[in-house]
Amino acid sequence: MIVLTACGATTSGSPSAIATQSAALPTFAANTTSPHKTTSVPPSSTPATHVHSSAPAPPTTATVNLPAGSGPLIVIDPGHSVTVHATDPATGLDVSDYENEPEMRDVYSVAELVRAKLIAAGYRVIMTKPTLTTPTSLGQRAAIANAARAALALSIHDQAGSNGGIGFDAGNNTVYYQSVGDYRETPSGTKVYFTDSAVAATSRRYGQIFQSYRAATQHTSVALMGNTGYDLGSRGLPAGDIWIVQLLSHVPWIYNEAGGNSAGQVGLDVADEQTYANGLVAAVEACVPVQR
């Protein structure tokens, strides 16, 4: 059951969002050689790059420092950011994010646990946020995974809160993968679709693995979904049915939700953070094994 509360909600981009976008983002329309064309705009619609009257979209790149070593490269995306307003210049999508507590702090802790375990197991790991409070738009997160050509990216979210929060074992345990045809809308109503069938096939396979390993580790049922199952526009978010980070990604990206309140408290305790992390690590190891 999807719960229509705060997690995943966002704020509208400000009119000056493009000018304040600090990371260069992929320019899908201009890149005709990429085998991973991820988004498109129907020919009958206004081209996304013409939606705004600002300067043309910047060239494709995000600066990432690749970790040393040869293990599979995994991008870990701890959900949420201190408030950031941004528009993806390539598609015109609103890629703003906002702080959601205690979720943002809890899932960052989970991400750090996952990171440490994966590095110990021989993986190379990049986090989409260098620190808990670094402002990071949804577009920047996707650009990092794309620039790194990650083998797999995973988002970590939960549903914490005194009002609308869900027990860690009680629900909202969901794994989302990318599907061709999933879309989101720009503020002007242009639909931007996920179109990469190869990435979608891998994402679906990885999603099934995440579902089974998380369920086994958390001892609860975990839902598997190829889209959000409802129109995010019904929550006041940009309309559509895929999480923005997945839509803008050129790599398989698994988006994880979970319950967010441990017994007797708002937010996750250390034991539940560890359990959430263990399921994610087991899933990564099954999706992309380290070659030995």
Using CB under 5 A as the criterion, which residues of the chain lie in contact with Zn ion when the complex forms?
A: 7-8, 79, 157
Smallest gap from residue 155 Cβ to Zn ion (A): 8
β-partners of residue 257 are: 174
CB of 80 to Zn ion, least distance (A): 6
12: left (phi over 0), alpha (psi -120 to 50) or beta: beta
Q: What burial class does residue 204 get, using C-beta atoms within 10 Å of its C-beta: 0-12 exposed, 13-18 middle, 19+ buried?
A: middle
Q: Where are the beta strands (DSSP E) in 170-271?
A: 174-176, 183-185, 191-194, 223-225, 253-257
Q: How far is the CB of 172 from Zn ion (least distance, A)?
A: 10
Residue 159 contacts residue 168 (beta carbons within 8 Å) = no
Minimum CB separation of residue 103 from Zn ion in Å reads 5
* Residue nearer to Zn ion on the CB measure, 48 or 113: 113
CA distance 292 to 34: 31
If the CB atoms of residues 28 and 243 are measured against Zn ion, the closer one turns out to be 243
d(Cα 165, Cα 290) in Å, to the nearest integer?
A: 36
Beta-carbon contacts of 137 under 8 Å, excluding residues fewer than 6 positions away, are 21, 23, 81, 84, 86, 95, 96, 97
Strand partners, 127: 76
User: Of 129 and 157, which has the nearer Cβ to Zn ion?
Assistant: 157
Q: Report the nearest approach of Zn ion to the CB of residue 7 (Å).
A: 3
Q: State the minimum distance, in angstroms, from the CB of residue 104 to Zn ion.
A: 8
Are residues 175 and 211 in contact, defined by beta-carbon separation less than 8 angstroms? yes
33 in Cβ contact with 60 (< 8 Å):
no
Residue number, 260 or 279, with CB nearest to Zn ion: 260
CB of 83 to Zn ion, least distance (A): 14
**79 or 259: whose CB is closer to Zn ion?**
79
**CA-to-CA distance for 72 and 132, rounded, in angstroms?**
24
Q: What is the DSSP letter of 139?
A: H
Residue type, position 81, single letter = S
Structure tokens at 32: 């005709």
Query: How near is the Cβ of 157 to Zn ion at its closest, in Å?
Result: 3
Residue 78 or 89: the one with the smaller Cβ distance to Zn ion is 78
By C-beta, is 158 or 196 nearer to Zn ion?
A: 158
Helix (H, G, I), strand (E, B) or coil at 43: coil
Task: Please identify, using beta-carbon distances, which residue of 117 and 157 lies nearer to Zn ion.
Answer: 157
Number of DSSP helices (H) and strands (E) in the chain, helices first: 6, 9
Look-up: residue for tokens 């190829």? 226
